[in-house]
């Protein structure tokens, strides 16, 4: 076997991990978060576009259908993410700083996306309600036109001419109204369902936030204690140096006195 083939084999090997199951759960959650970020971003653009053009046009109807499909997809992704979060929490080693940091990051990103998604669903529900009101008003106006006093023969001619077109349009608009009402109910049900799924998420994030705050507080306290200890140590060193100098001076004085006494005795 050549050295080149050995290098290729080493490069093809997966990097070592002391917690492979946790890493796999993290990868799964991160991939879902990425998919959800794209879904929520796309939904946000469509909802904003619909809010700027709240009219019963073909374009608006198509954008509403796109929003419905995105909401259905994102709801399924959030359900999967909730399971990934549970698996991740079950695999966390609280004494492993990397695990705690990853869990906290995933929980916070999930909470942020969840809140944005719920807000977009509410906005889309309001758009559907507004479009339905417009459609109902439009159908009411068409019905009122037939009640305007006209000569009997002229009214019959008008009814005969428009009967086929109006009947087809009326059926279509009625079906559209029912479809939007069902969509509003589905959105409300989806919001409640996701709220039930993630009812513990806020508590988890809050507890983790408190944990992070405590860690930061402990780091600050340790830093303060370290600085205080360093100051005390410097004071002790200065005191020790000062005491050493005084001892030296005292020793010199004592030696000098002894020399004087000895010289006086000798002389």
pLDDT digits (tens, 9 = 90+) for 194-240: 888 777 655 555 555 444 444 445 444 444 544 554 555 556 556 55
Question: Burial level of 98, CB count in 10 A (0-12/13-18/19+)?
Answer: middle
The predicted pLDDT at position 44 comes to 96
Q: How far is CA 8 from CA 2, 92, 207, in A?
A: 10, 34, 46
Report which of residues 203 and 78 the model is more confident about. 78
Of 42-51, 98-107, 225-234, 255-264, the poorest mean pLDDT is in 225-234
Strands (E) across 52-152 are located at none
Of 27-31, 89-93, 97-101, 190-194, the poorest mean pLDDT is in 190-194
Question: Burial level of 257, CB count in 10 A (0-12/13-18/19+)?
Answer: exposed
Angle at 201 between CA 212 and CA 77, to 5 degrees: 120
The predicted pLDDT at position 215 comes to 41
The predicted pLDDT at position 70 comes to 95
The predicted pLDDT at position 210 comes to 46
The predicted pLDDT at position 218 comes to 45
Q: What is the mean pLDDT of residues 55-81?
A: 88
Distance, CA of 102 to CA of 228 (rounded, Å): 33
Report which of residues 8 and 133 the model is more confident about. 133
Q: Would the pLDDT of 89 be above 80?
A: yes
Written out in words, the top-level CATH class of the domain with range 20-144+169-209 is: mainly alpha
Angle at 57 between CA 56 and CA 63, to 5 degrees: 95
- What is the pTM (predicted TM-score) of this model? 0.62
Backbone angles phi, psi at 147, to 5 degrees: -90, -5
For the chain, what percent of residues have pLDDT higher than 70? 58
Q: What is the mean pLDDT of residues 176-204?
A: 75
SS3 of 96, please? Answer: coil
From the list 215, 219, 218, the residue with the least C-alpha distance to 101 is 215
The predicted pLDDT at position 146 comes to 47
Name the percent of the chain in helix, strand, coil, to the closest 5: 90, 0, 10
The predicted pLDDT at position 39 comes to 96
Q: Where are the domains of the chain?
A: 20-144+169-209, 234-266
Report which of residues 246 and 237 the model is more confident about. 246
Question: Burial level of 9, CB count in 10 A (0-12/13-18/19+)?
Answer: exposed
The predicted pLDDT at position 172 comes to 72
Q: What is the mean pLDDT of residues 145-160?
A: 50
């Amino acid at each position: 076997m050549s050295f080149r083939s050995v290098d290729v084999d080493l490069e093809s090997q997966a990097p070592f991990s002391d917690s492979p199951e946790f890493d796999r759960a993290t990868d799964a959650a991160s991939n879902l978060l990425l998919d959800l970020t794209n879904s929520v971003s796309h939904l946000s653009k469509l909802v904003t576009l619909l809010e700027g053009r709240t009219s019963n046009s073909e374009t608006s109807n198509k954008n509403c259908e796109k929003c419905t499909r995105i909401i259905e997809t994102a709801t399924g992704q959030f359900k999967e993410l909730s399971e990934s979060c549970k698996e991740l929490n079950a695999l966390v080693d609280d004494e492993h700083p990397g695990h705690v940091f990853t869990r906290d990051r995933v929980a916070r990103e999930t909470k942020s996306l969840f809140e944005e998604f719920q807000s977009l669903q509410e906005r889309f529900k309001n758009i559907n309600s507004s479009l339905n009101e417009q459609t109902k008003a439009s159908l009411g106006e068409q019905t009122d036109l037939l009640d305007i006093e006209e000569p009997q023969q002229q009214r019959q001619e008008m009814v005969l001419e428009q009967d086929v077109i109006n009947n087809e349009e009326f059926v279509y608009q009625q079906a559209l109204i029912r479809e939007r009402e069902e969509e509003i109910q589905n959105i409300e049900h989806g919001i409640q369902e996701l709220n039930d799924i993630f009812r513990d998420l806020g508590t988890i994030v809050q507890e983790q936030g408190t944990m992070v705050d405590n860690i930061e507080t402990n780091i600050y306290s340790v830093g303060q204690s370290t600085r205080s200890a360093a100051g005390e140590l410097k004071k002790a060193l200065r005191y020790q140096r000062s005491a050493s100098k005084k001892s030296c001076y005292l020793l010199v004085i004592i030696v000098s006195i002894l020399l004087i006494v000895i010289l006086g005795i000798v002389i």
